[in-house]
Structure 1
Amino acid sequence: MSTIAQTSIRKFQSQVKLAGILIATGIVFGDIGTSPLYTYTAIFQPGEVIDSMKALGILSCIIWTLTLQTTVKYILITLQADNNGEGGIFSLYTLIRRYYGKWVVILAILGGSFLISDGIITPPISVASAVEGLKLYYPHLNTIPIVITILVFLFVIQQFGTQVIGKIFGPVMILWFAFMGIIGFMALSKDFTVLKALNPVYAFNFLLHYPKGFWLLGGVFLCTTGAEALYSDMGHVGRNNIRVSWIFIKIALILSYAGQTAWLLSAGKANNLSPFFNIVPLPIYIPAVVLSTLATIIASQALISGCFTLANEAIHLGLWPRHKIIFPGNIKGQLYIPFFNWALMAACISVVLYFRESTKMEAAFGLSVTLTMLSTTCLIVLYMLSRRRSLAIIIPVTIMFLTVEISFLIANLKKIAEGGWIMLIMGTTLSAIMLIWRWGRGTEEKLTTYSEWEPDNLKRLVGLSHGERIENFSTHLIYITSSPWPQRIEDKTLNSIFTSPLKKADIYWFFHISITDEPYTLQYKINTLSSNDAYFVDLKLGFRVPPRVDLFFRKIAQELIKSGELDREYREDLKFEQNPIGGYKFIVISSFLSFDNQLPFWKNFLIRIYYNIKGVAVTQDDNYGLDPSNVIFEKYPLVYTSADHIRLERIK
């Protein structure tokens, strides 16, 4: 064996650990691992006489969907595109955006929006499909209150962190997959001939010759709806842990689907109960319902956490308005966004109340994930092109995945009238919000004017700082600036300082915050505009780092004092300050839409939507992690198109 091969094996072994595999099983595969509960109920209707061509064709389609979509696309190819260990559609976007035009953000926005839409439908359908297993003993049981109670509990506990519950995720899910595989094998053992479906010819013949067989792909697609989570959760568990875990997961899934197929063929007719519960032995039926419910809760929990992470990335990339973000636990990457939590809960409960049964929810399920997967395919192709991969690999891979996913998309379009329109509206609404927010921020930036510091403005600033007859406003005055250049500053900041009442400070700070493409960057660079008078700080934060600017300022000031770059006692009054750095104030300047604007209808409409969205976002002190006691808010009018053509007539 070559030295390179031995080194690769040792590296792979060091990255794969039992604990990592356990966590991966608990966090990553919950969504795809609970799909056997409802996939077949979407394909085989109650009372339907089972046709062997359909049963074997469906099983073959599922096996090869799991192979092509999940194994080849996500496990083998997409997981290669890691951003310093992080995955997900927004991480993928940050890897390629420097190589392509601004249009590429549309793919990321569409993919991210419809993935969040998936987070709205997955918890209701998963929990409902598990709870409905009780209908074997209670045929007329109203499961809606039970499902809503579980969902409310699930969302309420988010604010306390999931580190305690997270410890049982792995063991419970391993038990779930083992149970699923064992009962699947038990049912399969009565008819091993269904394994003929491993041959893709059965899938091909089914799609080609079975009446309306192609349109059943919308139900088949449900078996792989959790594949996108594999990539999104890579940063939590590691690429190789996911790959090793998938071997066990895929075997369990195929055994479950094969066992359900064997039961359908032997029973000859589908009934009102999911085929999954029909293969569960009666002595352990109730424990099986309890275990499946726990598995769906865990799957929902993982997806909710994934939505928080996705929203956090969108916020840091400037694609979504800021919301309050809380870090409830000590686990890296664990966060809680109250606005998203309660909005998701309301949406999930609405889905339950509207559809009422999991079989009806299946009509709305799958369409949004198909659009997300298509977006990921486009982005991963662009990623491979940017890394100069061989066209001999890129072209056939692209054709294969686009063919499969466009086929699924066409089949899922049938679901629009059956409830899929809800997911389309949700995904489209989220996409529109992201696009309008990005456009609005971009427009604001374009209208921002700048002035040079040298020579006049800096001289005025230093003169104001040393003016003995002017009352001191604060020891330190900090402005958050959008200017990336130390030599230039926004006119609105100059107006804030030099407009009466003058803001005299001993030391002025201008913080520029830039979000990097790496997830956990935390760096800063100092430019001295005038020693002991004015400093420009370029603060670089990774897109997953909370912007605690108040804390960062104090640390930076203390480091400068310690290094002697900032003389704390060069002013008489600072000698008596109890605070090590002295008092400080942040000036937060935000815009409002001026009445001086003269805008066309469409532009006025979009701008007003932007400001309404801005009103729902957190205030700037929460945005930048500032202590409210140290913040002063100011507003300035923003004029997009001035109404200069208006002429007033003077009457004599």
Structure 2
Amino acid sequence: MDSKHQHTAISTAGLLIALGIIYGDIGTSPLYVMKAVVPGIIDPVLVYGGISCVLWTLTLQTTIKYVLLTLNADNNGEGGIFSLYALVRRRAGWLTVPAIVGGAALLADGVITPPISVSSAVEGLEAIYPNIPTVPIVIGILLLLFLLQSFGTQIVGKAFGPIMLLWFSMLAVLGVSWIVQHPGILQAANPYYAYDLLVNYPGGFWLLGAVFLCTTGAEALYSDLGHCGKGNIRISWTFVKLCLLLNYFGQGAWLLEHQGQQLNGRNPFYELMPHWFLIIGIGIATIAAVIASQALITGSFTLVAEAIRLNMWPKVKLNYPTDVKGQLFVPSMNRLLLFGCIGVVLYFQRSEHMEAAYGLAITLTMLMTTLLLTVWLRSKRVPMAAIALFVLLYGSIEGSFLIANLIKFPHGGWVSLAIGAALVSVMYVWLRAFYIKKRLTEFVKIEPYIESLKNLSDDESIPKYSTHLVFMTSAERASEIESKIIYSIFQKRPKRADIYWFVHVDTTDEPYTMEYKVSELAKDDVFRITFRLGFRVEQRINLYFRKVVEDLVRNKEVDITSRYESLSKQHVTGDFRFVVLEKYLSVDNDFPTMEKLVMQAYFYIKQFIASEDKYFGLDTSSVKVEKVPLVIAPVRDVALKRIS
């Protein structure tokens, strides 16, 4: 089956997986949207207008923009803002800005989604036990959820689909049970009610900030494209959207039954349930909220792994707890998200307070996706009139959502923006430092040193450093090598070896490329291996290198038997030793203030993360990390005077 067909193929299992993985965030939105839209006295204009806004937001934003348009911008079947950036980044240098801002904002919102989803669900218990303390329960659930991450989500993931099918079916049944009692609510499908609320109702426009909460999961839907395929997403969305709308209209019907009354902290979602069903409904809602949180945590891990390979994030340790393609665990990100989520719960206490912080950051992500998507549409030679219409429509919609969400800033919106700004800073520093280091790394032609390497290999007056000596190199051209590596081999401490290997890793714009190329620079003595790995491929260089060497031995291209006489007779394989050069900031520097600040921030962050050998998956027992000075710009004029 060709890859294109796989991305669009539809199956029952695929539809069920899509329900479990993709719709957690958007699927739990009925827990808090109408509660945010109607905060005080129940007014029919608010109810009809609010439901109408929700319907048309889900239609224009989620269905048309994401499900129909954005899913077409797949990078070999993978989606998400970084996959989209990888598709268009060669068209303009400034596109790194929307990618960084969008990625950071998506991660920032990931800190608020688990607390608001779980809190909204658990607070339903107050309808049965009015004085129950919900904060400790919410923190307990979040703690358990984050502790389970290191084991992988393969087993739990299989149960997600059926549970979410039950959840959406429950939403639909509860909604219909109230729509039949007040069918007049169906008039809210008329877009005039949305217009009337936003234009004529006092303060109506600012309610867009609350309405926007119904579509916050649309970005996650695009990010999970690779897990389910666009065919399964499009079919399952039809069912999900219908269930969501039935529930929203049902909540509207309940609100109209109680117009003129104060909500007084009651949640319209739980009011749809008969009293005997409450405890069951709360249980299902809590599990659905945990699934929503799980999907977001998994998405955050994927996002960080992609950012690392695009040189936008520190090379932190990545674990792969199961054999499932694309499933990974990032311990450092798991800790950051856990502390962030607990901090949000302790700071805001209640879900209605979290609503103020929620949505502001994700609006930025959606705007950045619109920007990148516009460039992608141009690359596909879509008529300019259609592109202009797209920009005008979604620039207006998302611009309005952003302005309406800005009212949340003093009430908690600053929290998500502060987290987003911190993440943007890290991404900016890392990307800028990568280019500074690249500019300052001196490369030399390897050809003039080949004879010297062969002579060093044969020089028995120097103790043998290793049978096989492997250097990680960043030189993109096979004919070049870092001058620091030459210095390390010949001058720092002469490193005599039987075979020298230079290994380079090239990250491709395709997600799952796994290719390698071998260049024999000197017969039986010097080899270069270039790995071409996709931006979603695990960097297990130790394993890949061993596989390449095995292939070379099988093809009789290299002999890895130990060249010590006594061991050679017994056909013992020679030892392998990796050398990783780790740069540090030299004191002999005189450079621009901005670059100085960037590099100081870069090295400050670097001290808190694992060394590069762990990121590359090298066996630490056979790795030597050598520190080399990074001289940005040596001080040229030294006012030194000789005296007699």
TM-score by length of 2: 0.97
Q: 2:123 aligns with which of 110, 116, 132?
A: 132
Q: 2:601 aligns with which of 588, 609, 612?
A: 609
AA paired with 2:464? N
Q: 1:588 aligns with which of 580, 587, 590?
A: 580
> Partners of 1:320 and 1:559 in 2: how far apart?
33
Q: State the Cα distance separating 1:471 from its structure 2 match.
A: 1.6
Decide which moves more: 387-396 or 232-241: 387-396
Is it true that 1:552 corresponds to 2:553 in the alignment? no
Q: Relative to structure 1, is the Cα distance of residues 500 and 38 closer, same or farther in structure 2, using a 3 angstrom cutoff?
A: closer
Q: 1:211 aligns with which of 202, 218, 228?
A: 202
Partner of 1:307 in structure 2? 300
Judge conservation of contact 1:529–1:536 (CA < 8 Å) in 2: yes
Partner of 1:4 in structure 2? none
Q: Relative to structure 1, is the Cα distance of residues 231 and 640 closer, same or farther in structure 2, using a 3 angstrom cutoff?
A: same
Is it true that 1:252 corresponds to 2:261 in the alignment? no
> Partners of 1:580 and 1:625 in 2: how far apart?
25
Q: 1:95 aligns with which of 87, 94, 98?
A: 87
* CA offset digits 1:2-54 (Å, max 9, x no partner): xxxxxx9x969981100000010011001000000001121222xx2222112
* CA offset digits 1:484-513 (Å, max 9, x no partner): 112111100000000142001100011111
Q: State the Cα distance separating 1:287 from its structure 2 match.
A: 0.4
Is it true that 1:20 corresponds to 2:14 in the alignment? yes
> Partners of 2:211 and 2:361 in 1: how far apart?
15
Is it true that 1:484 corresponds to 2:476 in the alignment? yes
* Mapping for residues 51-62 of structure 1, pairs under 5 Å: 51-62=43-54
Q: State the Cα distance separating 1:70 from its structure 2 match.
A: 0.3
Q: State the Cα distance separating 1:314 from its structure 2 match.
A: 0.6
* Mapping for residues 146-545 of structure 1, pairs under 5 Å: 146-268=137-259, 269=261, 270-454=263-447, 456-545=448-537
Q: Relative to structure 1, is the Cα distance of residues 529 and 71 closer, same or farther in structure 2, using a 3 angstrom cutoff?
A: same
Decide which moves more: 119-128 or 320-329: 320-329
Q: Relative to structure 1, is the Cα distance of residues 136 and 578 closer, same or farther in structure 2, using a 3 angstrom cutoff?
A: farther
Decide which moves more: 517-526 or 610-619: 610-619
Judge conservation of contact 1:554–1:581 (CA < 8 Å) in 2: no
> Partners of 2:595 and 2:475 in 1: how far apart?
26
Judge conservation of contact 1:184–1:257 (CA < 8 Å) in 2: yes
**3-state SS in 2 of match to 1:511:** strand
**3-state SS in 1 of match to 2:507:** strand
AA paired with 2:627? K
**3-state SS in 2 of match to 1:216:** helix
Partner of 2:624 in structure 1? 632
Judge conservation of contact 1:113–1:431 (CA < 8 Å) in 2: yes
Q: Percent identity?
A: 47
Decide which moves more: 436-445 or 636-645: 636-645
Decide which moves more: 438-447 or 611-620: 611-620
> Partners of 2:569 and 2:46 in 1: how far apart?
81
> Partners of 1:565 and 1:12 in 2: how far apart?
37
> Partners of 1:580 and 1:37 in 2: how far apart?
65
> Partners of 1:501 and 1:510 in 2: how far apart?
18
> Partners of 2:415 and 2:570 in 1: how far apart?
59
Q: Relative to structure 1, is the Cα distance of residues 453 and 158 closer, same or farther in structure 2, using a 3 angstrom cutoff?
A: same
AA paired with 1:648? L
> Partners of 2:61 and 2:637 in 1: how far apart?
59
RMSD: 1.8
Q: State the Cα distance separating 1:642 from its structure 2 match.
A: 1.7
Judge conservation of contact 1:326–1:337 (CA < 8 Å) in 2: yes
> Partners of 1:507 and 1:564 in 2: how far apart?
15
Q: State the Cα distance separating 1:427 from its structure 2 match.
A: 0.6
Q: 1:110 aligns with which of 101, 108, 118?
A: 101
* CA offset digits 1:557-615 (Å, max 9, x no partner): 12111111113459453853878642111111111111111245443322110111222
Runs of 5+ in structure 2 lacking a partner? none
Judge conservation of contact 2:142–2:338 (CA < 8 Å) in 1: yes
Q: State the Cα distance separating 1:650 from its structure 2 match.
A: 3.7
> Partners of 1:563 and 1:113 in 2: how far apart?
47
Q: 1:40 aligns with which of 34, 54, 71?
A: 34
Decide which moves more: 529-538 or 590-599: 590-599
> Partners of 1:578 and 1:273 in 2: how far apart?
80
**3-state SS in 1 of match to 2:241:** helix
> Partners of 2:229 and 2:401 in 1: how far apart?
29
> Partners of 2:513 and 2:592 in 1: how far apart?
42
> Partners of 1:580 and 1:351 in 2: how far apart?
58
Partner of 1:5 in structure 2? none
> Partners of 2:545 and 2:231 in 1: how far apart?
39
Q: State the Cα distance separating 1:376 from its structure 2 match.
A: 0.5
AA paired with 2:313? W
> Partners of 2:114 and 2:385 in 1: how far apart?
41
**3-state SS in 2 of match to 1:363:** helix
Q: Relative to structure 1, is the Cα distance of residues 466 and 402 closer, same or farther in structure 2, using a 3 angstrom cutoff?
A: same
> Partners of 2:565 and 2:511 in 1: how far apart?
42
**3-state SS in 2 of match to 1:589:** strand
> Partners of 2:429 and 2:367 in 1: how far apart?
22
* CA offset digits 1:225-265 (Å, max 9, x no partner): 10111100010111110110001100111011111111111
TM-score by length of 1: 0.96
Q: Relative to structure 1, is the Cα distance of residues 413 and 479 closer, same or farther in structure 2, using a 3 angstrom cutoff?
A: same
Q: Relative to structure 1, is the Cα distance of residues 551 and 225 closer, same or farther in structure 2, using a 3 angstrom cutoff?
A: same
Runs of 5+ in structure 1 lacking a partner? 1-7
* CA offset digits 1:204-231 (Å, max 9, x no partner): 1211111111000000000001011110
**3-state SS in 2 of match to 1:392:** helix
Q: 2:23 aligns with which of 15, 29, 32?
A: 29
> Partners of 2:502 and 2:79 in 1: how far apart?
33
Partner of 1:567 in structure 2? 559
> Partners of 2:455 and 2:412 in 1: how far apart?
67
AA paired with 1:227? A
